[in-house]
Structure 1
């Protein structure tokens, strides 16, 4: 087996575990906070929001920094630091006796949540340009699978072993996988003259992103994807309640949520392969239109199964977006700044994670839950037109400079 294939397989497993760890707390977070003292429901709900959101907020600030360190010192050391850091944060969450301490540990977890973008940068740097889409899509299947099954695994373990041991078992699993990175991953050393890794300042990287309009645009689209997912996510249980008379609302809303993840995993790799053949920006434009087509009918669903069907189709569309964006960055950003550029891309995604629930809450509060689907659909459509304009501007600019 080649080094590249072995590295990819190890990172898929590690990304699954790290992706699962970041979402496993979701089903029982409020229950865990409640177990730490005698608190009112209002207090528990408020702190659950703070504790869940702070990880993404801090990660938003830290992602480009980890990417920059990776560009300078290699991606493997950053994977080891962040992997063991996540494991330590989760381990001590199980020992925590105070709500404020749990908040602090989730904040620490945000500091070291650079594992997945760093793994993307590592695999990207070792992947030929012509197969970048397929390879990065395969890698994303690990993290998507983790975030899909994380809440299920977390909820099941909490019921079986209790909160404390759920954190400990998860921490041990991530420690083992990070040790696999330590001994199993072989990182090719960069040719310093070719990559000029030491010569790119932070100002150079930001200037590259701002000047290269299409590069900035795909990052904004990365934000929109997360915004779309997270704006609906907190409201899904309430929406499912309107569509069914069944008593097991938690299970049914989980099913509606998971349908998107299953659709995501199903076609992710195929979209990546198509992008390698016809261009990742073309695939991205197609997927933005499909996402709009599949999200709007969710507002018109008259039964739960209609909602689940369209959420599954929506998942198939958005599954190819992030690999297309990452592969596009792989082609457009110089090797010596790829880690930092991917870090900024991840920051845009984390910003979507934080702002999505806020947007969904405001829109649903003013004009109802179903309107959130319309707003999200229009955002995808706007993103399509802006990307289309950016692609044509980029082509015209290229022809002008080459005298075509």
Structure 2
């Protein structure tokens, strides 16, 4: 697991390294590109990866269930590295768009690694173990943009792409020699082979499993609804001085809170139940968005972004652990793939909702709308959970 922790960290960091300068790179490709063109295509280039990943993640999960997760990790790792390498050689934004689209097709690395660890983990400790793995993803996402910005300033855009690709190639080599996948030995895994229809039917037969995936979607909508607007909001609170630095600090505050508490929430879920922890964290997240909308200073905003990150840190490992418990071993990869698809869909829908709300009612309204979305998720989980328990008692 420790090898996968470090590999996940470097892959997560490498993928997010290019985010801070993506629009600047597009602008540098052709001096004739207008500001409107750059802004529009920055959105297209950013979003297409998540859109294709949303469609393809369950397929990678299904292939991993049948043929082994390690092979899929290698295919995805080499595919991501190659696409990033070629991004440093593009001449037009359309070529960059095509490579980002291809990257979405092979971007199942993180979800496959979680499925691999999940399949090798006892159910009783799934939350703690997956929480530990989630720490690597969060840490990579936290330090990736900072590393990417420093590298772009030091060696330029092109060599940043090359170095990023090299890191992921090395990660793939480490997987080849350092990761051993143990075959699933459960009787159920040997006895049953599930079709795609069987997997979907299994998901819909368990309402809490469906709700868990919807909560993954809601979480990402909440995260990404405000992210593209946060720098503008900080500009209103703090002014234009060192805006990029202070915006990055606010992003990092959320990531730091997430990093510090994700394993603790997973451990608590193992002891008292992941659905209970999820319910509490959704309500807490909803509450913590309200003071962000009412912030009258930059410091106040950062404090509540950090507290929100603490609550957010338990949602993803608890949803993943719940799937680990409820899904049979031989279909876990595909079920986790569907869960990741909902996550990527939230990455696409969130900025759209945030942009629409902000354009009509202002940026603070986005925080209020997101708070309502999280509260709706909590009420939905509570209702389905209560119904399921009542049904179990009546049997």
TM class, shorter-length: over 0.9
Residue 127 of structure 1 and its aligned partner are, at CA, apart by: 0.6
| 2:96 corresponds to 1:102 | yes
Paired position in structure 1 for 2:342: 348
Alpha-carbon separation, structure 1, partners of 2:37 and 2:293: 32
| 2:28 corresponds to 1:35 | yes
Paired position in structure 2 for 1:185: 179
The answer to whether the 8 A contact 1:197-1:337 is kept is no
| 2:72 corresponds to 1:78 | yes
The equivalences for 1:54-133 within 5 A come to 54-133=48-127
The answer to whether the 8 A contact 1:72-1:198 is kept is no
Equivalent residue in structure 1 for 2:362, among 365, 368, 373: 368
The answer to whether the 8 A contact 1:134-1:269 is kept is yes
Q: After the TM superposition, which of the residue ranges 392-401 and 170-179 deviates more from structure 2? A: 392-401
Residue 192 of structure 1 and its aligned partner are, at CA, apart by: 7.6
1:223-249 superposed Cα distances (whole Å, 9 cap, x missing partner): 111101100000001100111135111
1:152-211 superposed Cα distances (whole Å, 9 cap, x missing partner): 111110111111110111111111111111111111112385314862010111111122
With structure 1 as the length reference, what TM-score do the two structures score? Answer: 0.96
Alpha-carbon separation, structure 2, partners of 1:46 and 1:21: 24
The answer to whether the 8 A contact 1:70-1:339 is kept is yes
Count of residue pairs brought into register by the alignment: 394
Paired position in structure 2 for 1:386: 380
| 2:237 corresponds to 1:248 | no
* 3-state DSSP of counterpart to 1:28: helix
Alpha-carbon separation, structure 1, partners of 2:330 and 2:191: 4
* 3-state DSSP of counterpart to 2:290: helix
Paired position in structure 2 for 1:23: 16
Provide structure 1 residue ranges, at least 5 long, that are not aligned to the other structure. Answer: 1-7
With structure 2 as the length reference, what TM-score do the two structures score? Answer: 0.98
The equivalences for 1:293-332 within 5 A come to 293-332=287-326
Structure 1 stretches of 4+ moved >6 Å: none
Q: After the TM superposition, which of the residue ranges 369-378 and 24-33 deviates more from structure 2? A: 24-33
| 2:3 corresponds to 1:10 | yes
Alpha-carbon separation, structure 1, partners of 2:19 and 2:230: 14
Alpha-carbon separation, structure 2, partners of 1:141 and 1:147: 10
Q: Calculate the aligned-residue CA RMSD, in Å.
A: 1.2
The answer to whether the 8 A contact 1:121-1:342 is kept is yes
Alpha-carbon separation, structure 1, partners of 2:142 and 2:346: 18
Alpha-carbon separation, structure 2, partners of 1:120 and 1:197: 24
Q: After the TM superposition, which of the residue ranges 82-91 and 10-19 deviates more from structure 2? A: 10-19
